[in-house]
Structure 1
């Protein structure tokens, strides 16, 4: 019980096929609906689309049933990730900008006699309650001393902390020359704060003239 199939009008035919193989060939588009077929009980060639046993198969292949659209139920995390990245970049830029704006305010000393003058102390009095930090510029580089002991800027915090623990003093006197940069003064005050110093006094220069505006005589850490 085999089937034969041929292209329309062709003298050559493929023989020995089962009905299932014919249907499979139609699904794989090896044959066209207009090709001719002859079943075991047929006496003449018939177009595939007109054969009684293949009409339904051809109709299904010509008009396939469309599957209903199923909406995705999964949670799309892409928008949330995009928002998080934007916020991360914003906070990084904000932090960098705030760090760049960290500047020590150093207003000029007033020359008006009507304003109250800062208290003055003798060297002996100052030495009793403060740790002295000296800052100078030598060959274009800052040179720092903690109680006459030269230290690198990177070792400033442990050096000050050692004196705080040894003497119990929590106030510091900064003796800086006019050519010392504000960045160095900020580094000294930051190291003092980290070492446990509660107040940092900046020594006023006699005369107060020339150069950049003189720094405030006393700066308290919050």
Structure 2
């Protein structure tokens, strides 16, 4: 004989065999609160309240089983936070390293084609000798062995410019940054020195 089944509170019902009811309840077609009427019994009961389906309803409504003890669980939020901190650190480190990087100046060799070599007498007569070196982390500038300041270098160089001295002979060590060298060359041009020559070590 067929059972009658209806959605909770609905006046309309349909007939199903017991096997069909069990299958449809398991498939989610019916809720545990929907009502059934047993053949020959005029009373409607919810699936969960009927002895035939009570145990099945308990299994369907049971919460998911907890993870087995010892099963790995990774908190991704903490991992993302650490990754972001490391990313920011490396970005800042790379930026600072790029700003502090010293650009190597092109080398000048005595035997290189196109390089003009001056004698000591020519140097003294035609050039203003400027030296740059690093002492205790500070840039030291010497014009004809006399200390000079980078900010006032243009005015200082003008004192040495004459009709014959129109070039600057620049000597600097490997610790001097290219930025400082470029600044000194620019100031030499402003002071009226037409050419800049580099002293080969």
- Please report the TM-score for the alignment, with normalisation by the length of structure 2: 0.43
- Please report the TM-score for the alignment, with normalisation by the length of structure 1: 0.40
